[in-house]
Structure 1
Amino acid sequence: WMRRVEAVRGVSFEVQAGDIFGFLGPNGAGKTTTIKMLTGLIAPTSGRASLMGEPVGRPRVLSKVGFLPENPYVYPYLTPLEFVEMCGELSGLRGRACRDRARQVLERTGVWYAADRQVRRLSKGMLQRTGLAAALVADPELLILDEPMSGLDPVGRKEVKDLILEERANGRTIFFSTHILADVEALCDRVTILRKGQVVVSGALSELLNFGANETQIVLDAVSEELQGELEALGGRLSRAGERTTVEVASQQVDEVLRMALGGGASVVEVQAHHATLEDLFVREAIFSGDRSDPEPAKKSSSD
């Protein structure tokens, strides 16, 4: 007997053609489950999913999709060339065209020099690159990549990021999940963040990051309880670390906070403009908001 677990609930988002779309969330948020539903590996218990306007799972839809799973399984006694050629044949490529295409994608992913080694002798990073080559071999319209940078060194990560940008420039749509927020911020047009199986944030990355674009952090020392109450009444965010208090307020409130602080006997340690990052957004929505029992409805950018 196994206990039923609701892995995702009410997940809804849209990926625009030609975009690089980042799919984020803490471990166990439901990312891989959602990806398995999108690729037809498991069926949702309710609702529906579509790719390119058609229900997922149909052969003619899946033939347009290249998929890299989180832990790619490659037959250990095949070589990368044999495995990628096999994937090409399953996608309808034949003969010389299949072999030439396999060589091309193995060269692009940096595996060609090891194309005749058995997969079981490859490192984790090389195995990941082989899986990526297999996802590319059929020249798909949509790439779905689950943790594509997993196991790669810094050079490998840069090469995969460059490849993703090249694929987008060639008209591909790329959907990928990752825990490396800097990669998402550098690559993605749009993002969706999951928490506890539900979407908490979705929209254009540039617009979502505007939430803290005009904030200023003010670090104060020796803040009394009375002064703390007055600062909280302004509506900013306060946090304490030892004797120091950090106040985050809109830039137009800085002068008022400084007057209150100095008039209340506190000393000013630092004043710094704060530019929001994806890490700020992720921590706020996917980590700190986890104290609530149920996520709030997804926050979206105005373009949705």
Structure 2
Amino acid sequence: MTMIDTTELTKTFNGRGGCRGITLTVPEGCIFGLLGPNGAGKSTFVKMLAGLHRPDAGRAALLGLPLGRPEARRKLGYLPELFRYQDWLTPAEVLRFHGQLGGMRPRETRGPAFRSRVRDMLELVGLAEAADRRVGGFSKGMQQRLGLAAALLLDPELIILDEPASALDPVGRHEIRNLLKRLRGQGVTVFLNTHLLEDVQELCDQVAFLYEGELLASGPLHELLGGAGDGRSGGVNWRFRLGGWLPESWANLQEAAGGTLAARLRLLEADERGDALLTAALIDREQAGYLCALFIGSGLTLYESGPAPNSLEDWFLRMAHTRQGGDRP
């Protein structure tokens, strides 16, 4: 089953911001990561899926049902990015309230089966010993754990998590990563919106990249990283660190490299000291040698040349810099 399916989904605010024309498919049983810089439209997209924003255009389906259908919502768990529970409640009372919001009768939420479910959820997220404390005394990390317990309470088939580990320390993040892996193993589909790239690289089977409201890339993570992060196939992803960089150096190199090879070059960064970092998706090592000679012949100092690790951070930065340069990757 396709758990999330959107076609040209659009939401803007007075014609600005938001996201536009998002066509995306999330298969069953995977962890799917939504990436992009601040202001890319990620939270707007997530809120449309959760029913908190009404789309301006396009269509979407959750679990094969049109967006907003109660049957789909009952199978959805959602952890928003910014939330706060009433200070005077205990975790058990918060979960009882969420059970009723999910359609359970008050009498059901006071029964032994539900009380056992609450204990299990608090144990799962590491809050068992805080079950009788007031939420007002919780740290941000404890609040986040409680929010995750609420999202998982009614045994959803799909969970949408908006920055689930943002307030957690390294130990907490490790525990949440293990929890999400267990959920995937149980067949639960996880849609993860996060800025923590190391979590995405460890957890996610597929990712999508939003920039200024547009979807620039999506697909299996290993395929995106294996394609050198620029949307084109290439045998070797090569990195060059240079010195003596001048404002006109980029245009000069583009002209000197010419054609297809120039199109494979990416300028990742250049600072006022004249240091620059470039990458290129190359066919073979001979092209790397040709570029090294080209850099030196252009008066630049070659500090480093070698295969670049296909890390998610490198891919993320290349996607953002490419878009800032005015070209789609």
Class of the TM-score when normalised by the shorter of the 2 chains: 0.7 to 0.9
Aligned counterpart for 2:112 among listed residues 63, 84, 96: 96
Q: Distance in 1 between matches of 2:301 and 2:42?
A: 46
1:106-121 counterparts in 2 under 5 A?
106-121=122-137
After TM superposition, give the deviation of residue 290 of structure 1 in Å: 3.1
1:276 is aligned to 2:310: yes
After TM superposition, give the deviation of residue 216 of structure 1 in Å: 2.0
1:232 is aligned to 2:257: yes
RMSD: 2.6
Q: Distance in 1 between matches of 2:296 and 2:52?
A: 62
**Which range moved further: 77-86 or 282-291?**
282-291
Q: Which residue of 2 aligns with 1:302?
A: none
After TM superposition, give the deviation of residue 204 of structure 1 in Å: 1.0
Q: Which residue of 1 aligns with 2:238?
A: 216
How many correspondences in the alignment? 293
Native 8 Å contact 1:214 1:275 kept in 2:
no
The C-alpha deviation readout for 1:3-28, integer Å capped at 9, x for no partner, is 71441210110100001000112222
Aligned counterpart for 2:14 among listed residues 4, 29, 48: 4
Native 8 Å contact 1:227 1:261 kept in 2:
no
1:96-245 counterparts in 2 under 5 A?
96-212=112-228, 214-221=236-243, 228=253, 232-233=257-258, 234-235=261-262, 236-237=265-266, 240-241=270-271, 242-244=273-275
Q: Which residue of 1 aligns with 2:279?
A: 248
1:61 is aligned to 2:72: yes
After TM superposition, give the deviation of residue 231 of structure 1 in Å: 5.0
Q: Tell me the amino acid that sits aligned with residue 170 of structure 2.
A: P
More strand by percentage = 2
**Which range moved further: 195-204 or 248-257?**
248-257
Q: Which residue of 2 aligns with 1:85?
A: 96
Q: Distance in 2 between matches of 1:246 and 1:107?
A: 47
Q: Which residue of 2 aligns with 1:286?
A: 320
Q: Distance in 2 between matches of 1:116 and 1:17?
A: 36
SS of the counterpart of 1:14? strand
After TM superposition, give the deviation of residue 229 of structure 1 in Å: 6.2
Q: Tell me the amino acid that sits aligned with residue 279 of structure 2.
A: E
Q: Distance in 2 between matches of 1:141 and 1:53?
A: 12
Q: Distance in 2 between matches of 1:286 and 1:260?
A: 26
After TM superposition, give the deviation of residue 29 of structure 1 in Å: 1.5
TM-score (norm 2): 0.80
Aligned counterpart for 2:34 among listed residues 16, 23, 26: 23
Q: Tell me the amino acid that sits aligned with residue 14 of structure 2.
A: R
Q: Distance in 2 between matches of 1:141 and 1:40?
A: 17
Q: Which residue of 1 aligns with 2:57?
A: 46
Q: Tell me the amino acid that sits aligned with residue 149 of structure 1.
A: A
Q: Tell me the amino acid that sits aligned with residue 118 of structure 1.
A: R
After TM superposition, give the deviation of residue 275 of structure 1 in Å: 1.9
TM-score (norm 1): 0.86
Q: Distance in 2 between matches of 1:210 and 1:191?
A: 13
Native 8 Å contact 1:227 1:260 kept in 2:
no
After TM superposition, give the deviation of residue 223 of structure 1 in Å: 7.9
After TM superposition, give the deviation of residue 193 of structure 1 in Å: 1.1
SS of the counterpart of 1:47? strand
SS of the counterpart of 1:48? strand
SS of the counterpart of 1:18? coil
Q: Distance in 1 between matches of 2:312 and 2:298?
A: 35
Return the structure number with greater relative CO, CA threshold 8 A, min gap 6: 1
Q: Distance in 2 between matches of 1:42 and 1:218?
A: 44
1:257 is aligned to 2:282: no
Q: Which residue of 1 aligns with 2:47?
A: 36
Q: Distance in 1 between matches of 2:307 and 2:117?
A: 50
